[in-house]
Structure formats: structure tokens, C-alpha cells
Structure 1
């Protein structure tokens, strides 16, 4: 069988992304990796961390330790470790777009992405709010951001919004879209036939029967009742301060949080190193690291590669579930 083929995008070239990709390339694997990156940057990263790196052609199946196939996307300026350059913003975005287009065209089975520097991309003259949004627009799909580790999966109704705007964004259509995309992804990408999804309330104590807010009564509860009638197994709305107790989590396949900092601090506390960021709803699996560019660590060889390893492993497994003709990862 043909092995799973993953596109790999390091992200910010002055951060830890390139060296983490070099570390990933050293791992034994049953999937092929093709980097969308600048060859000079990858070689410099390999030299900095004293690891071998053999760059192959873009159509080669790089499955052996130390190998990466490469689609060369040159940076405008050779990056210095820890010193992001806005002139390289276009190359960062081009790498993301080309890798995703390769998935849309069927040349790759999924994409794994490293950390980007949003401020530097915007300084480079490119309006950018996040890779999740970029890939959703490119594919023309509604998507949901989910972060996951070995303890819990958390999907978000709203992502990068100021807190004062969150309540207005919690509408029945937005919540229904999140729940349906999450439910479908749990079945298709995680192989869970009958997913159980916990839904957090927006307000403290899930509104305390209207004494601490009315969103649960007016928006959340009626929608959950309707979706339950349609066959979805939904629990809630639950108070966020107790929903993550281990005894409760064991009964849930995922938790849907209303806003970014309602669910993600718990996930990161429970296992930050192995956490990954998934974009649910795309026609291909996209899995990213759950950490930033760590500019202060770039080039030192001390950055923890665990999240990138987990992202690649998760992406390969989802890709194989979506396309059983591919060779399964070990």
C-alpha cells in the first residue's frame, strides 16, 4: 500500500519550528514527510542542533530517519535565530497555502504545521488572524478549533475574540455549527461511533437558573434539546468549574467550551507537552503544535519536540482512518 503522505510546514523561520521539523525527521515512521520550507533554513537548523538532514526532491517519499522531501519556498532573507523578519512573512503564508493546496488536490493526505508569529506576518503587510481561519477560507469550509491531548479534547465555539464580545457571539447557529462539526469529526477522525459531548455553559454555574445570566436558558438549552431529539448525545450545559473533574471527563469524548480561556487552560495544565491543535471540518486533516515560536530557544537545541511529534502521529492516524487504502502508521 502507498504510505500516508503528510505535508509539513515549520512556521516562523526564526523560531523553533525548523529545528523541531529536523528532529521529527529523525524519527522512525511509516508515513512520508514533505516539508514546505526554505532549504537554507532547514539546513541551518540541522547544523545548529547537530543532526543529519538529507533533503529529497518534492516527489520523493521520505520515510527513512534523517530524510525530508522538500518543496523549496525560499525566504526573502536568511533568518537569524530568535530574530523574526517581516520580509519572510510572504514565504510563511505561501508555505501554508501550498501545503494545504496539495491536500486539496489529493497529493497529500494531511498537513502538520509548526508555530507562526502573527504579529510579524501582519508587520510584513499580510492581514492574518490565524492559520485556522486561513485554511478555512482557502477550502471554503466552516471549521472548528479543537485542542487535544491524552486526557481531554476541547472544541471551541469562539476562538480569538475579546472577552467582552464573546456573549454576543454565542448564538444558536454558531453553537449548532460547532457541535455538528465536532460530532462528525469524532466519528470520522477518531472512530467513535456514538460520541458523548459535554457542553459548557457560558456563565458561572451555567447561569444558576437565570440568576447569573440568561444565555443558557435562551440559547444553549433549547438548542441542545433539539439536537438530542435528532440523535446527538449531548450533556449540559455544565458549569465549567466542575466539568473537567476526572470522574466526569471519563464519560465524555469531547468538551465544547464557549470561549478560548474557558477550556484551554485546563487542557494545557493536564498535558501541555503532548497537546495538539486540530482544525475540524476541513476536507483533509490539519494538526498543529500547541505552542508558540519560542524565539528565546531557537537554535539552542533545547526546545521540546513532543507536541510536533504528537501532531504528526495524530495527523497520520486520522489520514489513514479517512483513507484506509493508505498504509497505517505504526
Structure 2
């Protein structure tokens, strides 16, 4: 799976009308990544996008599962997955929804069969997949959870300065790991989705995987309240009193180091983040705006709780930028570097 210590990573190219294909091209053109990256997508599309954005890249189609050569600048190995219909930058086509899902399935198979040490995903477009008839699709995270047959996963984003153990990245100042108790839910459904058993499962996964993948020996986790001012003693909602506090007390009795529930509007300050290895936010837009303000384009998305390594970019398909060569590959570079680190640490465990 490796050559000179470099793991193989499967990089799915995401929505073909978005910036995913050209980000894969940029990754190969700008320098040899810290892993043997194999794009999973349509070779002709990748070659077309390379020419369109003026990047000199040799797209090298491999046989299914064929090991890639050592990483070289300007060479992009590909495990081919054919488009279902021609794709133009910025123009969505539901005919290619199955293409996008097939790239995920190919990458999953590669990880399970030992052909890859992990997978990195470029952004997909959920609306296109839903409009194509894949009812219930809510995103990469949930799709991979179901495909791997696990009951629970945790979506966590981390800035580039927070990719290692606490001792390596210091405190505060844009060094953040933010995990989510709920992911892609309408806001009115969030409170009902936050239960004591769910919080206990999520915090067990977060605690275990901070140790497994990031080398944090004794993780310290800060937990947001759901309501303003963390409920203010029940005057602004009872979820903290009835659900969150009992769950945290039960986990502390098991030995987990947990702070909270804390008001989200003050938790994300240097004083409260000092010595904290991760924050658990109750919902998507409670924690991620803070993280993306601190490190947008320099952060990666990680799925914890899977039996394999999966990272992703911190942004969407950016249809308005597709085909212009102006997209920023920074988040993809962070996602690849993180996946490579996680794969090495997982193999050493």
C-alpha cells in the first residue's frame, strides 16, 4: 500500500460540473503530495479541465485497483469512472449523479480491499443527487456511515494548525477542531435529535478517535450548550438540564475529560479554548461558522467513527468558479496531508 512510506489515497473528484476535477489537477500540477494520490473520476474530464485551466498534467488511467506509481509533480493517476453525460463547468446534470456515487463506491472498495489507505473527497452537490431520485441522501458523511454499516459517525472539521496533538499546535489562535452532534438537519429538528444516548455515543467516538488518529493521549473536549447562554438555568430551554448535563456527568464518571455545557457565544474564545483538543457543537451552523472564519481554505473535514480514513475539503462545489482556474486548492492540500498522517498513525497503532 505504500512506497517510501507514502500511503495510497483515493481522491474522489466530486461533482463534475464543480471545482473538484480541477482541484485534483491542481494538486498534481503544483507538486508531489505527501501520499500516492489516485484520482477517482473520468480521465477524459480531468484532461479536459487541465487544458481548460492551463495546467500541464499527464492524466494516467490505471486499471481498477492498480497500484499507482510514486507521486510525481505533473502526473495524475486515475482509477476510471466514466461520466454518464458530458459535463460543462457550472452546469449541473442529474444524469451524472450516479457517476458521483460510483466514485465513492470505488474509493470505499479500494480502502476495504487494502488498495488504498484512506480516501479524500472533493465536494459533491447534494441537490443534484436528490433530484436524480436518491431520496434521503444528506451528504458524504451519512452515505459513508451507511455504506460501512456503522451506527454512528462524527463529522469534525479541523484547521491546518490543529492537525496534530495538542503539544504540536498550541492554544487558541485559529487552531481548532470542531465536531458536530448533528449535521445536515433542518434547524427545527435539531433539538429532538439531541438525546442522551446519542451524545454519549458521539463523545465516545470523538474521544477514541482523537487518540487513534491524532495522537492525543488524554483528550479534553469542550461541549456547547444548545440554547443561548446554555439554557440559563432552564429559563431559555431545558435541553441542557434534561439531556446534555446528565449525559456529560455519566461520561465524566467513566473518565472522559469534558467541559460544559458552555454557551457557544463565549466558548470560542482563547480563554475557554486553552488546553482544549476539540469542541463538540450541537448543530452545523453553531460551530462551523467560527471554524471557517478562523481557517477557511486551510481546514479539512474528517469523518470519525468509520473503519477507514476519510477526509474532505471545507467548502462546496463553487459552480461559479468552475473551469476558470481560480479555485483555491488549499483545503484539498490540507485534507490530503491530514489523511496521509492519519493513515500512517493508524497503521502504526
Q: Which runs of 5+ in 1 are unaligned?
A: 326-330
Q: Which 4+ runs in 1 deviate beyond 4 A?
A: none
**C-alpha separation in 1, matches of 2:242 and 2:34:** 50
CA drift at 1:124: 2.1
CA drift at 1:125: 2.4
Relative to the length of structure 1, the TM-score reads 0.95
CA drift at 1:28: 2.2
CA drift at 1:18: 0.4
Residues 295-329 of structure 1: per-residue CA shift (max 9 Å, x gap):
1111111011111111111111111100139xxxx
Matching residue within 15, 24, 27 for 1:12: 15
CA drift at 1:76: 1.3
CA drift at 1:250: 2.3
**C-alpha separation in 2, matches of 1:241 and 1:194:** 26
**C-alpha separation in 2, matches of 1:231 and 1:105:** 36
Residues 261-295 of structure 1: per-residue CA shift (max 9 Å, x gap):
11111111111111211110111110011111111
Contact 1:275–1:310 (8 Å) recurs in 2: yes
- Taking the TM superposition and a 5 Å limit, the aligned residue runs for 1:1-330 are 2=3, 3-26=6-29, 27-56=31-60, 57=62, 58-127=66-135, 128-141=137-150, 142-149=152-159, 150=161, 151-324=175-348
Contact 2:27–2:33 (8 Å) recurs in 1: no
Residues 20-39 of structure 1: per-residue CA shift (max 9 Å, x gap):
00011122234101111001
Contact 2:34–2:336 (8 Å) recurs in 1: no
Secondary structure of the residue that 2:303 maps to in structure 1?
A: strand
**C-alpha separation in 2, matches of 1:310 and 1:37:** 20
**C-alpha separation in 1, matches of 2:296 and 2:271:** 20
Contact 2:299–2:331 (8 Å) recurs in 1: yes
The alpha-carbon distance between structure 1 residues 62 and 92, as it changes in their structure 2 partners (threshold 3 A), is farther
CA drift at 1:97: 1.1
Show the counterpart of 2:170: none
Secondary structure of the residue that 1:241 maps to in structure 2?
A: helix
CA drift at 1:62: 4.3
**C-alpha separation in 2, matches of 1:125 and 1:259:** 27
CA drift at 1:126: 2.3
Q: Which runs of 5+ in 2 are unaligned?
A: 162-174
**What value does the CA root-mean-square deviation take over the aligned residues?**
1.3
**C-alpha separation in 2, matches of 1:154 and 1:91:** 31
Residues 232-280 of structure 1: per-residue CA shift (max 9 Å, x gap):
1000110111000022212210000111111111111111111211110
**C-alpha separation in 1, matches of 2:228 and 2:318:** 34
**C-alpha separation in 1, matches of 2:186 and 2:67:** 43
Show the counterpart of 1:328: none
Relative to the length of structure 2, the TM-score reads 0.90
CA drift at 1:59: 2.5
**C-alpha separation in 1, matches of 2:56 and 2:348:** 32
The alpha-carbon distance between structure 1 residues 203 and 79, as it changes in their structure 2 partners (threshold 3 A), is same
**C-alpha separation in 2, matches of 1:282 and 1:238:** 28
**C-alpha separation in 1, matches of 2:8 and 2:179:** 26
